Amino acid sequence: MKKHSFLFVSICLLLLGTRLPFSIFGNNQTVSQVFAETTNKEKAKKLYNTAIKEFNNGSETKAVADWKKSAKLGSALAESQVASQYLNGMGVKENYQKALYWAKRAYKHGENSGMAANTLGTVYLNGSKTVKKDYKKALAYFKKGISEGYMKSYRKLAYMYLNGYGVKANTTTAVKWYTKAANKGDITSEYSLGQIYEKGQGIKQDYSKAMSWYKKSAANDDDVSAPGVIESMSSIANLYANGLGVTKDYQQAEQWYQKAFNASQKEVALLKQNS
């Protein structure tokens, strides 16, 4: 009898949205509010995951639409994704103002703030007709991204040191950050390191190190759309063709040029498929 009475009272509390004691939920929320928040979080997560699948399948516009729905339900991860799409013009028209808006929302919420910080840094680094360049802000946001372990921020900070944007140009420091990014699996940083060593840009020219980094980047031939993969293949071919750091080998050069060509064709096919 007591069990039935407790169940009846519990149902009444739920239906009436009775305010429960502070000690139960940590604030003065009603049961209905707690359930509503839980439901929204579940919906947001489901929409976010659906958008990921849509994006990976080439349906970028649908993905952005679902990320926006997820963001409106409170997902900071979705806010970061929407910001990134506006930054890169994927699924939507490039718009730095909107990228800034969504990234600031995500950054404020704190969840996955590394990605949001990187987007904010990139907006201020590049600037646009509507957003003024601000290297000081860019630097601060990239450092925040690094503190959150966000890989791309390592590369962006390296880029600023390499080119002297907002800081005194320092190739040694740039190499340090590019190497950290590369060690985390950043393909583009591997290519950038190859370029620095091949050209002797601010450091001693070293074709052997250049070749080593190019080969690491080129090994990612399953991701030809990643900046640096195709370029690394061509650079390897060039080193073999000219005997730079290796014995001159036209056969190897031809093979690598062919790899670069095939990868380019694959990239074009992927772009057509996703357009």
Q: At what angle do helices 31-56 and 60-72 cross, to 10 degrees?
A: 170
What confidence tens digit (pLDDT) does each residue in 236-275 have? 999 999 999 999 999 999 999 999 999 999 888 877 766 6
Q: Can you give the pTM of this predicted structure? A: 0.80
CATH number of the 170-274 domain:
1.25.40.10
Q: Domain-by-domain residue ranges, the chain?
A: 170-274
- The series of mean pLDDT values per 10 residues for the chain, 275 residues long, is 48 45 49 56 86 86 91 90 92 94 91 90 96 97 96 97 97 98 96 98 96 96 89 98 97 97 87 67
DSSP 8-state secondary structure symbol assigned to residue 165: S
Give 232-274 as a DSSP string. Answer: HHHHHHHHHHHTSSS---HHHHHHHHHHHHHHHHHHHHHHHHH
pLDDT tens track for 18-48: 444 444 445 555 554 444 556 777 888 888 8
Q: Are 108 and 74 in contact (CB under 8 A)?
A: no
> Contact at 8 Å (CB) between 234 and 257?
yes
What pLDDT sits at residue 30?
59
